[in-house]
C-alpha cells in the first residue's frame, strides 16, 4: 500500500516537474500570464472606472449677466466635475452641443431666478453628474430660490444597456478581426496549409488581400450579429439610414485597425500561446480605457495616453453618438478622421510585416 502511494507521488512529481519545465521555457508567456489579470483588473479597472468624473465640458450662456448668475457660474467653475465654456449666444452653444463638444448647456435667461439645463443622456452617468453639479452650485447660492428646468435634447431615458452596446459591438468587431486575421494565419502557417498558397502561381498581394477580405467579412458578420443581439436584449438604437451607413463605415475601419495588428503580430510571433498573451495584453487595456463601461472622463491622467492612442476610444465614442443620440455628422467627424488614419496605417503596417515575413 505504502509502496503504491510512494509510486503515485513520484509519478505526480514527474508530471508536475515536466510541465513546469515547459512553463519556464517560455518566460514571456509565464510572466504575462501571471501579471496580466492583476495588472489589468487592479490597475486599469480601478483607475478607469473610479466613478469620479472630471472636467465634463458644458456650455454656459448667461443672458442675465447679473450678480447672482455670475456667482452661480463662479460656483460651477469651482466644481471639478464640469469645465465651463462661456458662450455668448444660445445658437452657438447649440452647435457645440450638437457636435457633442459640450455635454450640456446651462442657459440663464434674463431676469434670473431660473436656470435652464439642456441635457444629453447618451451617457447616463455624465448627464447625472452634470445635473448634480449644477444643482449644488445653485443651492450654494443662499437666500435665493432658483428654479432649475431640465430639458433633455438627446437620448432621453437612455439606459446603461444602451450606453454599453456601442462599445461591445466595437469590441466584437475588433476581436473578430484579430482572430479571423491573425489566428487563422497562424494556424495555416503551422499546419503547412499556408505553404500551398506560397508555392502557387498567385501573387503575395492576392494572398494577403484575399486573407484580409475574408477576415473583414467574418468580423463584420460578427459585428452585425452583435447589433442584432443587443436590439433583441432591449437596447434602443436611435438612428436612421444615414447613421447606419456611417456605423457600418466605422465598423470597417475598426476591423482594419485590428486586422492589421493581428497580421503584424503573426509575422513576429509564431508561438500560439505567446500570440494569445500578447493579444490580451494589448487588447484588454485598450478596451477598458476606451469608455465602453464608464465615461472616459473618469480615467486617471496616466491612463489617458492609452485612451488617446486606442482606436477603440474613437470608435466607441462615434458609435455611441450615432446609436444613442441619433446621427449628427459633426458629432463623429473627428473620431471618423482619426479612426481612418489609424485603420489604414495599421493595415499597411500589417501588410508590410506580412510581406517581410514571407519574402
Judged by CB under 8 A, the stretch of 54-62, 86-94, 190-198, 329-337 that binds other proteins is 190-198
> Cβ closer to other proteins: 77 or 190?
190
- Tell me, by CB under 8 A, how many residues bind other proteins: 14
Rule CB under 8 A: choose which of 15, 24, 199, 241 binds other proteins: 199
Rule CB under 8 A: choose which of 10, 51, 157, 201 binds other proteins: 201
> Cβ closer to other proteins: 217 or 242?
217
Rule CB under 8 A: choose which of 52, 77, 89, 195 binds other proteins: 195
Beta strands in the chain (DSSP E): 56-62, 82-86, 104-108, 114-120, 147-154
Q: Is 1 one of the binding residues for other proteins (CB under 8 A)?
A: no
> Cβ closer to other proteins: 46 or 198?
198
Placement of cell 457600418 in the chain: 248
Return the axis-axis angle of helices 160-177 and 204-232, rounded to nearest 10°: 160
Q: Is 193 one of the binding residues for other proteins (CB under 8 A)?
A: yes
Distance (Å, whole) CA 78 – CA 137: 9
Rule CB under 8 A: choose which of 36, 99, 197, 229 binds other proteins: 197
Query: Nearest 5°: CA angle at 96, between 92 and 99?
Result: 140
Beta strands in 24-175 (DSSP E): 56-62, 82-86, 104-108, 114-120, 147-154
Q: Is 213 one of the binding residues for other proteins (CB under 8 A)?
A: no
CA distances from 65 to 70, 88, 95, 145, 218 (A): 7, 11, 22, 18, 58
> Cβ closer to other proteins: 181 or 243?
181
N residues, the chain: 359
| Residue 60 in grid coordinates | 454656459
Judged by CB under 8 A, the stretch of 35-43, 48-56, 121-129, 188-196 that binds other proteins is 188-196
> Applying CB under 8 A, which residues contact other proteins?
188, 191-193, 195-203, 359
Amino acid at each position: 500500500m505504502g509502496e503504491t502511494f510512494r509510486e503515485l507521488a513520484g509519478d505526480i512529481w514527474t508530471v508536475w516537474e515536466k510541465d513546469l519545465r515547459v512553463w519556464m521555457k517560455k518566460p514571456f508567456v509565464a510572466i504575462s500570464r501571471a501579471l496580466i489579470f492583476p495588472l489589468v483588473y487592479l490597475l486599469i479597472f480601478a483607475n478607469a472606472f473610479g466613478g469620479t468624473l472630471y472636467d465634463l465640458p458644458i456650455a454656459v450662456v448667461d443672458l442675465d449677466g447679473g450678480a447672482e448668475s455670475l456667482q452661480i457660474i463662479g460656483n460651477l467653475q469651482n466644481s471639478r466635475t464640469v469645465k465651463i465654456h462661456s458662450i455668448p449666444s444660445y445658437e452657438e452653444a447649440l452647435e457645440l452641443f450638437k457636435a457633442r463638444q459640450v455635454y450640456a448647456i446651462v442657459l440663464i435667461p434674463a431676469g434670473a431666478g431660473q436656470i435652464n439645463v439642456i441635457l444629453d443622456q447618451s451617457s447616463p452617468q455624465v448627464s447625472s453628474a452634470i445635473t448634480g453639479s449644477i444643482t449644488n452650485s445653485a443651492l450654494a447660492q443662499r437666500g435665493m430660490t432658483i428654479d432649475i428646468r431640465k430639458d433633455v435634447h438627446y437620448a432621453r431615458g437612455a439606459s446603461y444597456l444602451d450606453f454599453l452596446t456601442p462599445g461591445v459591438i466595437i469590441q466584437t468587431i475588433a476581436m473578430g478581426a484579430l482572430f479571423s486575421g491573425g489566428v487563422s494565419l497562424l494556424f495555416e502557417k503551422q499546419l503547412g496549409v499556408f505553404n500551398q498558397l506560397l508555392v502557387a502561381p498567385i501573387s503575395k498581394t492576392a494572398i494577403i488581400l484575399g486573407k484580409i477580405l475574408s477576415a473583414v467579412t467574418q468580423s463584420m458578420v460578427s459585428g452585425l450579429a452583435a447589433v442584432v443581439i443587443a436590439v433583441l436584449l432591449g437596447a434602443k438604437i436611435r438612428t436612421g439610414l444615414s447613421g447606419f451607413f456611417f456605423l457600418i463605415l466605422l465598423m470597417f475601419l475598426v476591423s482594419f485597425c485590428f486586422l492589421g495588428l493581428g497580421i503584424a503580430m503573426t509575422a513576429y510571433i509564431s508561438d500560439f500561446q505567446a500570440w494569445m498573451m500578447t493579444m490580451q495584453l494589448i487588447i484588454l487595456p485598450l478596451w477598458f480605457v476606451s469608455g465602453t463601461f464608464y465615461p472616459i472622463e473618469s480615467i486617471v491622467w496616466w491612463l489617458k495616453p492609452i485612451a488617446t492612442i486606442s482606436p477603440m476610444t474613437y470608435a466607441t465614442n462615434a458609435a455611441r453618438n450615432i446609436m444613442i443620440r441619433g446621427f449628427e455628422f459633426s458629432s463623429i467627424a473627428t473620431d471618423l478622421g482619426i479612426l481612418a488614419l489609424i485603420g489604414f496605417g495599421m493595415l499597411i503596417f500589417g501588410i508590410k510585416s506580412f510581406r517581410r515575413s514571407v519574402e
